[in-house]
Amino acid sequence: MSDTVLITLIIAIAVVIILFIFKDRLSAFNLTANKRGLKGNVKNYPPSGVTISGVVQKGNKDKISVSQNDATVTNTKQLGDEDEINIQHPEKSKKK
């Protein structure tokens, strides 16, 4: 086999492995190859988020914990004693 064929096979195998690893995160992948070169396009899913809304904590020491990058808390009431809503951002806590 010529060097060009071997390089093409190595690149193709690498692309397949990368696609397999990230298959749950990608929404679209397009690869075009011709004599002029190689052109690719990758789209991923938008980040998902968590919304905590309309929660009423009436008891004592009630806790809600969320570990998500995109979390929103709106329209909640805490009527009990020592109620908590904890939101942790995993990316920020990994840097410590």
pLDDT in tens, 28-65: 878 787 888 778 787 877 767 778 888 888 888 888 88
Confidence of residue 95 (pLDDT cuts 50, 70, 90): low
Both 39 and 10 in one domain: the answer is yes
Could you give the number of structural domains in the chain?
Answer: 2
Both 64 and 37 in one domain: the answer is no
CA-nearest of 46, 92, 45, 85 to 69 is 92
CA-based diameter of the chain, in Å? Answer: 75
Given a cut of 80, is residue 68 above it in pLDDT? no
Both 32 and 58 in one domain: the answer is no
For residue 96, is it within any domain? Answer: no
Domain containing 74 equals 50-89
Convert the pLDDT of each residue in 69-87 to its tens digit: 778 888 888 888 888 888 8
d(Cα 2, Cα 92) in Å, to the nearest integer?
48
For residue 95, is it within any domain? Answer: no
Q: Residue 25's pLDDT is what?
A: 76
Both 55 and 38 in one domain: the answer is no
Answer yes or no: are the C-beta atoms of 56 and 69 closer than 8 Å: no
